[in-house]
Amino acid sequence: MRQMTTVHGGLDPAELRSLGLQPDQVLDFSANINPLGPSRRVIRAAAEADLSAYPDRNSLGLREALAARLIVPIDNLLIGNGSTELIHLVARACLRPGEKCLILAPTFGEYEAAAAIAGADVRTLRAREERGFRWPVDTAVRTIKEMRPGLVFLCNPNNPTGACLERDTVEQFNSAVGEDTLMVLDNAYAELSDCRWDPLPLLGCGNLVILNSMTKDHALAGVRLGYMVAEPSVVAAVRRLQPAWSVNAVAQAVGIAALEDETHIARAREVILEAKAYLCRELDKLSVPVTPSSANFILARVGDAAKVRSALLRGRMAVRDCTSFGLPHHIRIAARRPEECARLIDALRDVLHR
């Protein structure tokens, strides 16, 4: 049986155990979630959720709340057990074995995993470091037109580079997409970034799926919650593949509570901006080059990324080694509260100058 392992950030209890550590002893900069954690309102909603009844298979209350917030009809919305579930379902719904899937890389590993499981012929268009990890727009547009893939994955702002595409660029990509192609615009980090523009008007002009991760926005990684917005026919095709009760009752309850707590995200964005400015300043003093990032994380060129990550982990700090993205000299650092960033910089100074 073919096995495909995708590398992710976040703590691995088995690895920590081998180092004699517990997860609560480690400061985690490897997962890019809201640095404030879940809001009080969300924690209360989780505690009050009904654990004994089956969850609503249609996530009706949450879809209604989202529809009101986004001002879209409810039939344009599908909730998932994290946006990862939706990535896999979309790939299965729209890719036939052997069909091409184009991924703008380096990027989140689950796109390739999902397309490969669907039996697709996976192609990538890689942004280069010398160009600040910006994709060459003309080449991308030409490639989409010539290749005519069944599916295009585009992450904005991109993981792990933090690169932001403006609306007109995404519009150009979307116009290049033909009738037989679906484009996934993964906005997992948009709410926490300074790359915020409303992609919903683009829904009308092509075959577009917009993905969002409430895991990131509201620090619900352990609960799993994401959603997609697309034309009702696309939503229905993806929905048919989703197992019943995929989105559990706690996730639905906290999702509704989170949508009522906009200020929590606004406060998180302030912390993120401050943290990024601090990290960039201090990394510059350590002569560590940083790629300009619009997202809630930064990409830093540290030399041997695996070695730096291991040394930091032994000192109880986790960063993301970017080797699996094809970037063995880079680590990705999530923005956290300033005092936590200061601890990371102290540890990094020791590791780099050892």
Ligand X SMILES: Cc1ncc(COP(=O)(O)O)c(C=O)c1O
Closest CB to ligand X among 106 and 345? 106
Using CB under 6 A as the binding rule, whether residue 84 contacts ligand X is answered as yes
| Structure tokens that stand for 7 in this block | 């590398």
Any contact of residue 226 with ligand X (CB under 6 A)? Answer: yes
Q: Is 219 in the site for ligand X (CB under 6 A)?
A: no
Provide the sign of the torsion angle of the four alpha carbons 272, 291, 147, 111, taken in this order.
negative
- Binding region for ligand X (CB under 6 A) out of 77-85, 167-175, 255-263, 331-339: 77-85
Angle ∠(305,307,308) on CA atoms, nearest 5? 65
226-229 and 290-291 strand pairing: unpaired
Considering only the stretches 78-86, 243-251, 305-313, 333-341, report the one whose residues sit in contact with ligand X under the rule CB under 6 A.
Answer: 78-86
Structural element, H or E, at residue 350 = helix 338-352
- CA atoms of 109 and 159, how far apart (whole Å): 9
Least distance from ligand X to the Cβ atom of residue 81, Å: 8
Q: 20 phi and psi, to 5 degrees?
A: 75, 30
Question: CB 200 → ligand X: shortest distance, Å?
Answer: 18
Nearest approach in angstroms of CB 160 to ligand X is: 8
By CB under 6 A, tell whether 159 contacts ligand X.
Answer: yes
Tell me how far, at minimum, the Cβ of 120 lies from ligand X, in Å.
18
Spatial distance between the Cα atoms of 231 and 241, rounded to a whole number of angstroms:
16
Of 76, 174, 215, 242, the one binding ligand X (CB under 6 A) is 215
Whichever of 93 and 251 has its CB closer to ligand X, that residue is: 251
Contact between 143 and ligand X per CB under 6 A:
no
> Residue 108 or residue 269: which is nearer to ligand X going by CB?
108
CA 221 to chain CA centroid, nearest Å? 11
Our finding on whether 246 is near ligand X (CB under 6 A) is no
DSSP string, 61-87: HHHHHHHHHHT--GGGEEEESSHHHHH
Count of residues in contact with ligand X, rule CB under 6 A: 12
One of 143, 181, 213, 291 touching ligand X (CB under 6 A): 213
DSSP 242-284: SPTT-S-HHHHHHHHHHHT-HHHHHHHHHHHHHHHHHHHHHHH
* CB-based closest residue to ligand X: 82
Choose between 174 and 297: whose C-beta lies nearer to ligand X.
297
- Type of residue numbered 205: C
Q: Residues 91, 188, 254, 288: which binds ligand X (CB under 6 A)?
A: 188
> Among residues 38, 55, 82, 199, which is the contact residue for ligand X, using CB under 6 A?
82
Residue positions counted in the chain: 354
CB 341 within 8 A of CB 335: yes
Instruction: Fill in the per-residue mask, 167 to 186: x = in contact with ligand X (CB under 6 A), - = not in contact.
Output: -------------------x
Pick from 155, 203, 234, 312 the residue near ligand X by CB under 6 A. 155
- CB–CB of 35/272 below 8 Å? yes
Site string for ligand X, 2-21 (x = CB under 6 A): --------------------
CA distance 340 to 37: 14
Residue 148: which residues within 8 A CB-CB, separation 6 or more? Answer: 100, 178, 180, 181
C-beta of residue 333 within 8 angstroms of C-beta of residue 345:
no
The smaller minimum CB distance to ligand X, of residues 190 and 257, is found at 190
* Residue closer to ligand X, measured from CB, 80 or 150: 80
- The answer to the question of residue 83 lying near ligand X (CB under 6 A) is yes
Residues near ligand X (CB under 6 A) are 82-84, 108, 155, 159, 186, 188, 213, 215, 221, 226
